[in-house]
Structure 1
Amino acid sequence: MNPLLNKLQPYPFERLRQLFANVTPNPALPPISLGIGEPKHPTPDFIKHALTAGLGALAAYPATAGEQKLRQSFTDWLQTRYALALDPATQVLPVNGSREALFALAQTVVDASATPAPIVVSPNPFYQIYEGAALLAGAETYYVPSRADRNFAVDWDSVPDEVWARAQLVFVCSPGNPTGAVMPLDEWKKLFALSDRHGFVIASDECYSEIYFRDEPPLGGLEAAAKLGREDFKNLIALTSLSKRSNVPGLRSGFVAGDAAIIKKFLLYRTYHGSAMSGAVAAASIAAWGDEQHVVENRAQYRAKFAAVTPLLEPVLDVKLPDASFYLWAGVPAKWNGDDAAFARDLYAQYNVTVLPGSYLARDSGGVNPGRGRIRMALVAGTDECVAAANRIVQFIQSGQ
């Protein structure tokens, strides 16, 4: 067996299952889960119809690079969303969801034979695929804290020069999971300068880009590069997905875009990896990327939901409306002494509400786990259910238990 598999830690939801293993939740209350970031809004009918209309494509092997019409739908969307003009032939590729692509990109980019050993830089807390992708590519992982005193911005300035010198890949998540923070242009400028100096690739995970609460949509990595005169997107790959934008997590559809030289190598890897997108999925994807009205309506649902829930929780939790994404990243009250796992376990036992301990989404770095004492709540269910969960959390905290 691959010995690198032994370096992987249990996934957060497996740790949550273990936490709850001997707990019997209050049977008088129906279960409400805010634990998993799985969109629950209905999939638009026009996407379903496009999928079934494309079933004839199942009779043929799909091209790994995707058909021209599919790639054109990506670049058309990038033009509409970010005013960017990318070449559909060389600067975009279809992927089977951003999770698959994040993992595969690390296998493409990292040179495990490098001396000293390569480093993959990750925000902390983080989406667990970053860590697994780095370890299975043969790299070490360096965790950069997202600091509460900086509105959960990643503290890139804290990374030592010797780490940057060994870095081959840097994961950026903006809007962030779990914090919802959006990286501003000056931070992108700083990261691009470091990439130019040390040669590392930046993977910009942007799967939450279309769920936001401000008037201005979140800045994207490619957009930031263009604003800074980096039209070739050197050493930059952006990854996005339809899962959250269009409520189709089961479609497993997204795309990557950016540096044509990296895209070329990534296509070579994917040709052998066997990760071509089904023609039926491609048909549904083209329809989804080509329509914005359902995205506007989806965003409005989240805005209404967060507007209803956040004020209920603010008096009892250290929480506020995020920049974007569908998570609330909340600090637990002082009486739990920073024990986010105990808070989650007791809440589940007494009020049958599931939240994810923040420490499960982070790693100890410099003796500190930046997720400790916080919980992640995914407001993915309907508004009534999320409000009911918020009211139970308020009762739980005020009960003094």
Structure 2
Amino acid sequence: MNPRLEQLHPYPFQKLRELFVGVTPNPDLAPINLSIGEPRHPTPQFIKDALVAGLGGLSNYPITQGSDALRGSISAWAERRYGVKLDPATEVLPVNGSREALFAFAQASVDSSRHGRRVIISPNPFYQIYEGAALLAGARPFFLNTLPENGFSMDWSRVPEDLWEQVNLVYVCSPGNPTGKVMSLADWKALFDLSDQHGFVIAADECYSEIYFEEGKPPLGALTAAQQLGRGFRNLIVFNSLSKRSNVPGLRSGMVAGDAALMKAFLLYRTYHGSAMSPVVQAASQAAWNDEAHVIENRRQYAEKFAAVMPLLKDVLSFDAPDAAFYLWARVPGGDDAAFARGLYEKEHVTVLPGSFLARDAAGVNPGKGFVRIALVDSLPACVEAARRMVGFVGRAT
């Protein structure tokens, strides 16, 4: 087997299962799981109907590039959302969820030859696919801590100057997982300038971009920033997904857009990778990208949950309201995130994810230590009940 597999770390939820071994949660309380970022709002009926209507596509092999109609719908959505015109023939690809594409892009882009660029920069804490993609591509991850003292931004000055010429790819996540941080235009300019100077590719993970709290004020995206700065999409690839936007995590449908030259090479890789999207999924995806009403309702529900939960938790956990996404990144009393999560599960039957499970030790610290990630994905009553149980748990522990 590939020896690089031995470099992979256990996934955070495997660590969570191991943390709970031997723990019997309070049997008098119904379980509430806020550990995983899995949307639980109902899938819109019109998407289910489009899926069923597209079943005739089961008799056809899909093409890797996807249908003209689907790429057209993604391009039209990007113009509405980001104010950019993408060529659906050369700058857009449908993918089987952003996770699949974020991993595959590193395999296609890293030059693992002796003299190749073999460093991939990732935020820390991070989505673990970035790390696994780097390791299995034969690259070396470099973790850039996002800390409260710098507003959870990626501080590029902390990258050693002599490392930049070895950097192949930089993963960024905006809105961020787990912090909810959104990159500003100044943040994007700094990163674009570094890319132009050193020649690395930017992989912008924007799968949380449609979960925000003030209608009409969406988070700034990489494509919009690139256009506003007048640089075009050079060395920029953006990843997005229907999972969070449209409550269809099981559909496994997303999109990649950006630099046409990079997209051409990525399409070649995907042709051999065998990752074409089923025509049935394409039909449902096209319907989802074409509609915004269900996304507005989705945002309304998340905003309602944050408005209800944050006042309850503000006196027992330390956190800032996120810019976007559906996570609270909260500092726990006592600083032991794993012990907090274990105790909360045992006493209150509420599951949250220890922040240290989402990060690596870098520059002498684990930037997730002392935090928990709370995913407000369940119903409003469940999220409120979970918050009340957390208040009781902290009150009894102090």
User: Which TM-score tier does this pair reach, normalised by the shorter chain?
Assistant: over 0.9
- Aligned partners of 1:202 and 1:235 also within 8 Å: yes
Per the TM alignment, residue 344 of structure 1 is displaced from its structure 2 partner at its CA by 0.4
Q: How does 1:203-242 map to 2 (within 5 A)?
A: 203-214=203-214, 216-231=217-232, 233-242=233-242
Equivalents in 1 of 2:14, 2:163: separation in Å? 31
Per the TM alignment, residue 160 of structure 1 is displaced from its structure 2 partner at its CA by 1.2
Equivalence for 2:323: 323
Equivalence for 2:342: 345
- The TM-score with structure 1 as length reference comes to 0.98
Aligned pair count reads 397
Per the TM alignment, residue 163 of structure 1 is displaced from its structure 2 partner at its CA by 1.9
Equivalence for 2:391: 394
Paired AA for residue 375 in structure 2: A
Equivalents in 1 of 2:223, 2:162: separation in Å? 27
Equivalents in 1 of 2:73, 2:116: separation in Å? 42
- Aligned partners of 1:175 and 1:181 also within 8 Å: yes
Q: How does 1:259-338 map to 2 (within 5 A)?
A: 259-333=259-333, 336=334, 338=335
1:87 lines up with 2:87 in the alignment: yes
Equivalents in 1 of 2:45, 2:65: separation in Å? 27
Q: How does 1:31-110 map to 2 (within 5 A)?
A: 31-110=31-110
Equivalence for 2:201: 201
Which of 373, 377, 393 pairs up with 1:376?
373
- Aligned partners of 1:314 and 1:320 also within 8 Å: no
Tell me, what secondary structure is at the counterpart of 2:230?
coil
- Aligned partners of 1:213 and 1:322 also within 8 Å: no
Equivalence for 2:176: 176
Paired AA for residue 397 in structure 1: V
Equivalents in 1 of 2:2, 2:114: separation in Å? 19
Equivalence for 1:141: 141
Paired AA for residue 389 in structure 2: R
- Per-residue CA distance 1:233-282 (angstroms, 9 max, x = gap): 00000000000000000000011000000000000000000000000100
1:152 lines up with 2:152 in the alignment: yes
Identity %: 64
Equivalents in 1 of 2:150, 2:301: separation in Å? 28
- The TM-score with structure 2 as length reference comes to 0.98
- Per-residue CA distance 1:15-59 (angstroms, 9 max, x = gap): 000000111111111111010100000000000000000000010
Equivalents in 1 of 2:29, 2:354: separation in Å? 21
Tell me, what secondary structure is at the counterpart of 2:79?
helix
Structure 1 pair 117–3 and aligned structure 2 pair: CA distance change class (3 A): farther
Q: For structure 1, which runs of at least 5 residues remain unmatched after alignment? A: none
Q: How does 1:158-169 map to 2 (within 5 A)?
A: 158-169=158-169
- Per-residue CA distance 1:80-111 (angstroms, 9 max, x = gap): 00110010000000100000000000001100
Equivalents in 2 of 1:195, 1:321: separation in Å? 31
Tell me, what secondary structure is at the counterpart of 1:204?
strand
- Per-residue CA distance 1:316-357 (angstroms, 9 max, x = gap): 100132000000000001xx2x21001100111111100000
Equivalents in 2 of 1:115, 1:399: separation in Å? 58
Tell me, what secondary structure is at the counterpart of 1:256?
strand
- Aligned partners of 2:110 and 2:137 also within 8 Å: yes
Deviates more, 1:153-162 or 1:220-229: 153-162
- Per-residue CA distance 1:349-394 (angstroms, 9 max, x = gap): 1111000000000000011000000000000000000000000000
Equivalents in 2 of 1:159, 1:91: separation in Å? 30
Equivalents in 2 of 1:272, 1:258: separation in Å? 21
Paired AA for residue 12 in structure 2: P
Tell me, what secondary structure is at the counterpart of 2:225?
helix
Equivalence for 1:358: 355
Paired AA for residue 396 in structure 1: F
Tell me, what secondary structure is at the counterpart of 1:142?
strand
Equivalents in 1 of 2:117, 2:186: separation in Å? 30
Could you list the runs of 4 or more consecutive aligned residues of structure 1 that deviate by over 4 angstroms after TM superposition?
A: none
Equivalents in 1 of 2:300, 2:150: separation in Å? 28
Deviates more, 1:7-16 or 1:214-223: 214-223
- Aligned partners of 1:112 and 1:139 also within 8 Å: yes
Structure 1 pair 391–241 and aligned structure 2 pair: CA distance change class (3 A): same
Per the TM alignment, residue 116 of structure 1 is displaced from its structure 2 partner at its CA by 6.6
Q: For structure 2, which runs of at least 5 residues remain unmatched after alignment? A: none
What value does the CA root-mean-square deviation take over the aligned residues? Answer: 0.9
Deviates more, 1:108-117 or 1:376-385: 108-117
Paired AA for residue 326 in structure 1: F
- Aligned partners of 1:97 and 1:255 also within 8 Å: yes
